[in-house]
Structure 1
Amino acid sequence: MKRRILLTNDDGITSAGLWAAYNALAPFADVTVVAPATQQSAVGRSISIFEPIRANRVTINGVTAYSVGGKPTDAVIIGLFALRLNPDLVVSGINIGENLSFESIMTSGTVGAALEASNQGVPGIAFSLQVEDQGDKFDEPSGITRRFSGAKQVVREVCGRVLETGFPGSAHVINVNIPAEVRGGYEVTRLAAKLFQTGVEERFDPRGRPYYWIDGPLYEDAEEGTDVHAVQRGNVSITPITLDCTAFDAVGDLQSIFGEMISGEREMSLP
């Protein structure tokens, strides 16, 4: 019996990257697509709690799928609890644009969907494809589709191996980033600190009022062993991620700072 995979993304249900992942997985798994109806990049793990969510059954490329009027996290929750798909694995991607570093995984809807899956007890893997032009994230020109053949092979190999051998016990999500041109092999990495040199561009509307675009170029490289460095070298980066954001190394410092309050030796004055 084929293993069951729930496939989602944050680029929207018509994204070429989503269907490239479907084509990679369908030969060896029972794949159900449940994805946002529209582009939802950079929404992280945000969730729709103040409005209803609609999930419409649609046919795309001859395949029955579910178009969700919400965010990637919503799509995962609908797939798990409304459609009751009971998958063995949730796959998110292939995202058009890399998701590298602390910075990106905190805002990425692609990684957010995988984190939500793991939070609900289903292992999640996120796949992202590096783009040479950041505009490709939004325009999705036909030129990027030629790079999906290599990306599909990565999806097949990674998911096939995980389904065969099991998910790593100490990780909640596997974050996979595929270089625009794979020149090496696989590399197990840690997260770099930054991906973008954040900036703000001020512009003015026809009435002279300012408005702003958040922008900034990518860092060209990072230290060895990081996901950014691996992708810049042409390697496929595989990074284990945990849901537990506790900074265990800081526990001792906090105990020193708040020791008296923690021990109860002095009462804490309240406003």
Structure 2
Amino acid sequence: MKPKVLLTNDDGVTSAGLWAAYDALTSIADVTVVAPSTQQSAVGRSISIFEPIRATKIRINGVEAYSVGGKPTDSVIIGIYALGIKPDLVVSGINIGENLSFESIMTSGTVGAALEAANHGFPAVAFSLQVEDQADKFDDPFYFDSSFDESKEMVRNICGNVFEGGFPENMDLINVNIPKKVTAGIEITRLAEKLFETGVEKRLDPRGKPYYWINGPLYDEAEDGTDVNAVANGRVSVTPITLDSTAFKGMESLKKLLRT
């Protein structure tokens, strides 16, 4: 029997990236799509606890899928606990836009879904594709027309290796970022500190009242060995991630501070 995959994302169930991942996996796995009904980028690991969640069975490209009226994490929880899917692997993506650095993975709905899966004991891989124009992240992901050929090959390759060799030890999920053009293979990386130089743009509405856009350019440089550096130089970044955020190196200094 083929391994079972729960496939989700944060761009929404109609996203071209999600269905590229489906195409990549369907020959090697039994894939069930459970994804948000609408765009849910940058919601991180938030969960809908104050409103009901609907999961509607739909058909896209002739394939049965579940459209979830909630967050990426909701989709994972609904898939596992309401629909009874017990996946061998949870795959999140292919996200339209990179998810690199401490900064980005803390807010990413793509990585958030993978973290949620790992939290419930299911191995997970998140896939993201670098975009040439950051504005592409804000267009309808159904109409994203860049090629997914290299991304699909990477999804099939990495997931195939997991199915064959088992999920690696000492990590809870794998975060994969694919350059818009792969020129230098795969690099195992660590997270960079930041992806964006955060800024705020102030504007005035027609009544003269101020409002704000959070914005900022991408970082031009990052240290060797980081995910940001790898993707900037045409390499596929593969980063092991753990759920445990404990700062073990800080324990002694904290003990001294609190005199314990």
Normalised to the residue count of structure 1, the TM-score between the two structures is 0.94
Aligned to 2:185: 185
3-state SS of the aligned residue for 2:238? strand
How far the C-alpha of 1:140 sits from its partner, in A, is 4.6
Distance 1:129 1:160 in 2: 19
Aligned to 1:265: none
How far the C-alpha of 1:145 sits from its partner, in A, is 3.1
Distance 1:188 1:248 in 2: 23
Distance 1:187 1:87 in 2: 27
Residue segments in structure 2 that go unaligned for 5+ positions in a row: none
Amino acid at match of 2:74: D
Whether the aligned pair in 1 keeps the contact of 2:16 and 2:142 (CA below 8 Å) is no
Distance 2:143 2:43 in 1: 26
Change in Cα spacing, 1:161 to 1:198, as seen in structure 2 (3 Å) is same
Normalised to the residue count of structure 2, the TM-score between the two structures is 0.98
Map 1:255-270 to 2 at 5 A.
Answer: 255-259=255-259, 262=260
3-state SS of the aligned residue for 2:196? coil
Distance 1:142 1:13 in 2: 9
Distance 1:235 1:145 in 2: 22
Change in Cα spacing, 1:232 to 1:143, as seen in structure 2 (3 Å) is farther
How far the C-alpha of 1:43 sits from its partner, in A, is 0.2
Aligned to 1:267: none
Aligned to 2:170: 170
Q: Which is higher, the Rg of structure 1 or of structure 2? A: 1
Residue segments in structure 1 that go unaligned for 5+ positions in a row: 263-271
Aligned to 1:147: 147
Aligned to 1:13: 13
How far the C-alpha of 1:220 sits from its partner, in A, is 1.5
Distance 1:81 1:35 in 2: 14
Question: Whose relative contact order is higher, 1 or 2, with alpha carbons under 8 Å and at least 6 apart?
Answer: 2
Amino acid at match of 1:177: N
Distance 2:173 2:158 in 1: 13
Q: Deviations over 1:219-268 (max 9, x none)?
A: 01200000000001100000000000000000010011111xx3xxxxxx
Whether the aligned pair in 1 keeps the contact of 2:17 and 2:141 (CA below 8 Å) is no
Aligned to 1:63: 63
Map 1:18-57 to 2 at 5 A.
Answer: 18-57=18-57
How far the C-alpha of 1:163 sits from its partner, in A, is 1.1
Does residue 1:230 correspond to 2:203, yes or no?
Answer: no
Aligned to 1:159: 159
3-state SS of the aligned residue for 1:145? coil
Whether the aligned pair in 1 keeps the contact of 2:9 and 2:36 (CA below 8 Å) is yes
Displaced runs of 4+ in structure 1, greater than 4 A?
Answer: 140-144
How far the C-alpha of 1:146 sits from its partner, in A, is 3.5
Range moving further from structure 2, 6-15 or 146-155 = 146-155
Distance 1:8 1:214 in 2: 27
Distance 2:144 2:151 in 1: 11
3-state SS of the aligned residue for 2:31? strand
Amino acid at match of 1:122: F
Aligned to 1:268: none
Aligned to 1:122: 122
Distance 2:213 2:233 in 1: 30
Amino acid at match of 1:258: L
Sequence identity (%): 69
- Aligned length in residues: 260
3-state SS of the aligned residue for 1:135? helix
How far the C-alpha of 1:179 sits from its partner, in A, is 0.2
Distance 1:12 1:237 in 2: 24
Distance 2:141 2:113 in 1: 24
Distance 1:143 1:45 in 2: 26
Distance 1:38 1:175 in 2: 23
Q: Deviations over 1:66-108 (max 9, x none)?
A: 0000000000000000001111000000000000000000000
The two structures, once aligned, show a CA RMSD in angstroms of 1.1
